[in-house]
Structure 1
């Protein structure tokens, strides 16, 4: 790939023409025409990166790496077969006396090694960073009439490197269509860790002039008043316990021999 080197007259720093700092100054339509995601030593076609968009338990970077190896192997075998066919043409021509000097045929080059799945995941993360503004705009323009707030520890256990151990909970807020309105990582549980998230969510509805949600389903503190105090700008919103957590509490109360203190009123349903 040929490009030019640009120099900043202020800081005297130099950038190649395809650097992200240079391409980010272009419009979104022009940036979409760039056919690859570039790293330090390699480039990845965007058609490969788009296969990572629908990630699930059976579709990840490891499986994509295996598919790429199969595709590259099949294409390499086809090229080697065509190379052998062309060599046979010259051998037949030499046997028939059509050419006097028998040419020497070098061995075909070995197949280029496909990068490991770690590199594919790094490329996918770079593509996500390039689309970060669009992703933020899509999330912050999502609203709902019925909300669901739940916390999990499964996501924070996947953090590695410097981020490992810096978060305790991942709190997600979704609507009745299964869309995510907000997702945050907190270092503690309770009102202190969620105050900024709740205030930001209420400010989003207010800035967009949207009606507050009618009901929100939570996994705890539906009757103690803690959640209601957090959403103080939405006094008309009903707070209910999620049915899945309600069934788990029923099972715990029916199966445990220890005394179980019910903290759920009938209106929680």
Structure 2
């Protein structure tokens, strides 16, 4: 993920263009379009933040991890099916072969 760094003219502090301090200055019609919460070193998808909000007694980090892994697997499978569908036409032309593996989901540990 990429962003530009903005620099304060007074203190020379650099702030990421997607930082919450910058996004809060935007009207809600624009600020709600950013798909992630970013800090200087870390980021978190807003869909994960929404799932963390619903954590109540009994909803552990492992349950959230399993839910995210399932969603990640489903999304990856859909992309892989589209990819293989496009590659099908190349197989007939010259034996184009490419093997893809699903990237792992970070664990809560």
- Normalising by structure 2, we get a TM-score of 0.70
The CA deviation string for residues 161-197 of structure 1, in whole angstroms up to 9 with x for no partner, is xxxxxxxxxxxxxxxxxxxxxxxxxxxxxxxxxxxxx
- Gap change, CA 1:59 and 1:8, over 3 Å in 2: same
RMSD (CA atoms)? 2.7
Q: Where do 1:199-218 residues align within 5 Å?
A: none
Kindly indicate whether the alpha-carbon contact (under 8 Å) linking 1:37 and 1:43 is maintained by their aligned counterparts in 2.
yes
The CA deviation string for residues 190-210 of structure 1, in whole angstroms up to 9 with x for no partner, is xxxxxxxxxxxxxxxxxxxxx
Q: What is the rounded CA distance, in whole Å, between the counterparts of 1:53 and 1:67 in structure 2? A: 14
Q: What is the rounded CA distance, in whole Å, between the counterparts of 2:53 and 2:68 in structure 1? A: 16
Partner of 1:70: 70
Q: Which has the higher contact order (CA 8 A, sep 6+)?
A: 2
Q: What is the rounded CA distance, in whole Å, between the counterparts of 1:18 and 1:90 in structure 2? A: 40
- How far off is 1:42 after superposition? 4.1
The CA deviation string for residues 58-116 of structure 1, in whole angstroms up to 9 with x for no partner, is 2232211101111111222333334334444333xx3xxxx4xx1432212x2222122
The CA deviation string for residues 207-255 of structure 1, in whole angstroms up to 9 with x for no partner, is xxxxxxxxxxxxxxxxxxxxxxxxxxxxxxxxxxxxxxxxxxxxxxxxx
Q: Between Structure 1 and Structure 2, whose CA radius of gyration is higher? A: 1
Give 1:115's match in structure 2, choosing from 94, 106, 109.
106
Q: What is the rounded CA distance, in whole Å, between the counterparts of 2:79 and 2:35 in structure 1? A: 24
Kindly indicate whether the alpha-carbon contact (under 8 Å) linking 1:7 and 1:14 is maintained by their aligned counterparts in 2.
yes
Q: What is the rounded CA distance, in whole Å, between the counterparts of 1:83 and 1:27 in structure 2? A: 37
Which structure 1 segments of 5+ residues have no match? 119-269
Q: What is the rounded CA distance, in whole Å, between the counterparts of 1:48 and 1:67 in structure 2? A: 10
Q: What is the rounded CA distance, in whole Å, between the counterparts of 1:33 and 1:88 in structure 2? A: 35
Instruction: Confirm or deny that 1:105 pairs with 2:97.
Output: yes
Q: Where do 1:1-12 residues align within 5 Å?
A: 1-12=1-12
- How far off is 1:33 after superposition? 3.7
Q: Where do 1:216-231 residues align within 5 Å?
A: none
- Gap change, CA 1:38 and 1:113, over 3 Å in 2: farther
- Gap change, CA 1:61 and 1:80, over 3 Å in 2: same
- How far off is 1:2 after superposition? 4.5
SS in 2 for 1:50: helix
Q: Where do 1:185-204 residues align within 5 Å?
A: none
Partner of 1:16: 16
Q: Where do 1:40-119 residues align within 5 Å?
A: 40-44=41-45, 46-91=46-91, 94=92, 99=93, 102-108=94-100, 110-117=101-108
